[in-house]
C-alpha cells in the first residue's frame, strides 16, 4: 500500500516526500505543476502530474493508497492571499474531491493541512498577541478567502470521519519556512522574501530593503523539519481534533530583519511600505495541546532556521549570477 502526498511538488510536500522515502515507505507524489517546476523531484517516488480538483484525477491517484497527506492548495504569502481570495477558495475543490476519493478508495488515514489563518481576526489585533489556542477559531472570523476555505475543509474532514469512518487528522500550520521553498515571484512568505532582500544587500545589488507595514507586526515561524515531524506525528496519532503545529517563538518583522543582518554580516537601510499587505497585527501558536498529546513541540530557533534558509537563498542568487 502506498502513501499519497498531494502537493508533493510544493515546498512542504517535497520535504515530506523526502522524509517518507527515507523512512522506507512507498510514496506517490502528485502535483498540478510540471515536474520541472517542482521544488523537489525524488526519483524513487512515483511522481504524477495531475490536478486533484478534478474528481477523476483525485480517484485515480487515491487508488491503492493507505494514507493520504493532502497538502495541495493554491496559496502563497500575504501578498498573494490578500489579492487572490477567489483563487485561494477554489482549493475547496481539491479538499472535497480528495476526501471523497480517499473514502471511496478505502484509505486508512487522511491528513489535512489547515492554517493559522482560520483564527478569529478579532483575537489578532495587537502585536503583543495572546498565543492562539485551538478554540479561538470560533466564533468564526478567519482570514478572508484563504482562511474560510481552510476552516470549511476542516469541518468537511470532521464529518467524513463521523459519517464515513475515514480517520481524518488536521494540523493548523503556522508560517512554515526553510530551504527549497518559494523565495521570489510573489508567492514567497516573509522569511524567504526578507532573506532574498538582505542577500541582495550582501551581494552589493542594493543598500536597502522594503518592509511591508511598519515592521512591528508579530508572527511565529516554524522551520520545515519541525513541520514534517509534526505532520507525521499528527497523522499517526489518535487526536482527531484540529491542532496547532507551529513555533511559539514570537518576533516582530523588524526583529527578523535584525537576525538576518547578523546572519549576513551586513547592515541594511529600511524603508516601510504602509500600504502593502501585512495581514493581522499579531499571531502566535499556543502549543499546550500539542505538547500534552505528542510530548514535544516545534523548537528549532528562528535564528538557526534563518541561517539555513538565508544560506540557501544566497546560493540561488550567486548561482544565477
Crossing angle of the two packed helices 253-264 and 190-202, in degrees rounded to 10: 40
Distances, alpha carbon 149 to alpha carbons 211, 262, 308, in Å:
28, 38, 32
| Distance separating alpha carbons of residues 257 and 92, to the nearest angstrom | 35
| Distance separating alpha carbons of residues 269 and 230, to the nearest angstrom | 37
CB atoms within 10 A of CB 269: 10
Cis peptide bond upstream of 139, omega within 30: yes
164 is catalytic: no
CA atoms within 13 A on the CB side of 235: 23
Distances, alpha carbon 99 to alpha carbons 63, 72, 164, 173, 207, in Å:
13, 12, 10, 19, 49
Catalytic-role residue among 146, 223, 294, 314: 146
| Sequence-ordered list of residues with C-beta below 8 angstroms from that of 135, at least 6 positions apart, any chain | none
Crossing angle of the two packed helices 146-164 and 91-105, in degrees rounded to 10: 20
Beta bridge partners of 223: 177
Q: Where are the alpha helices (DSSP H) in the chain?
A: 11-22, 55-62, 78-83, 85-89, 91-105, 146-164, 190-202, 224-236, 253-264, 288-294, 302-320
CB-based burial of residue 63 (10 Å sphere; 0-12 exposed, 13-18 middle, 19+ buried)?
middle
Strand pairing report for 65-70 and 167-173: unpaired
Q: Which of 74, 109, 111 has the alpha carbon at shortest distance from 186? A: 74
Which residues are part of the catalytic machinery? 146
Amino acid at each position: 500500500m502506498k502513501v499519497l502526498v498531494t502537493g508533493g511538488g510544493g515546498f512542504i510536500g517535497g520535504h515530506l516526500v523526502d522524509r517518507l522515502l527515507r523512512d522506507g515507505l512507498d510514496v506517490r507524489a502528485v502535483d498540478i505543476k510540471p515536474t520541472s517546476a517542482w521544488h523537489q523531484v525524488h526519483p524513487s517516488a512515483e511522481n504524477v502530474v495531475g490536478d486533484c480538483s478534478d474528481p477523476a484525477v483525485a480517484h485515480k491517484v487515491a487508488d491503492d493508497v493507505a494514507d493520504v497527506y493532502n497538502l495541495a492548495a493554491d496559496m502563497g504569502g500575504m501578498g498573494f492571499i490578500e489579492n487572490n481570495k477567489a483563487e485561494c477558495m477554489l482549493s475547496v475543490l481539491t479538499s472535497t474531491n480528495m476526501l471523497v476519493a480517499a473514502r471511496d478508495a478505502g484509505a486508512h488515514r487522511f491528513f489535512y493541512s489547515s492554517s493559522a489563518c482560520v483564527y478569529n481576526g478579532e483575537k489578532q489585533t495587537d502585536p503583543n498577541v495572546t498565543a492562539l489556542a485551538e478554540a479561538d477559531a470560533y466564533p468564526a472570523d478567519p482570514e478572508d478567502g484563504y482562511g474560510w476555505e481552510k476552516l470549511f475543509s476542516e469541518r468537511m474532514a470532521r464529518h467524513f470521519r463521523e459519517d464515513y469512518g475515514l480517520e481524518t487528522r488536521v494540523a493548523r500550520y503556522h508560517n512554515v519556512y526553510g530551504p527549497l521553498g518559494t523565495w521570489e515571484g510573489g508567492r514567497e512568505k516573509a522569511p524567504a522574501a526578507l532573506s532574498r532582500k538582505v542577500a541582495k544587500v550582501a551581494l552589493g545589488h542594493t543598500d536597502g530593503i522594503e518592509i511591508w507595514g511598519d515592521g512591528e507586526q508579530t508572527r511565529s515561524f516554524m522551520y520545515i523539519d519541525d513541520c514534517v515531524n509534526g505532520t507525521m506525528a499528527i497523522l499517526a496519532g489518535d487526536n482527531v481534533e484540529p491542532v496547532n503545529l507551529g513555533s511559539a517563538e514570537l518576533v516582530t518583522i523588524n526583529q527578523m530583519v535584525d537576525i538576518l543582518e547578523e546572519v549576513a554580516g551586513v547592515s541594511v537601510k529600511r524603508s516601510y511600505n504602509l500600504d502593502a499587505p501585512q495581514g493581522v497585527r499579531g499571531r502566535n501558536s499556543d502549543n499546550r495541546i500539542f505538547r500534552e498529546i505528542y510530548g514535544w513541540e516545534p523548537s528549532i530557533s528562528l535564528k538557526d532556521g534563518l541561517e539555513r534558509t538565508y544560506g540557501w537563498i544566497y546560493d540561488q542568487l550567486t548561482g544565477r549570477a
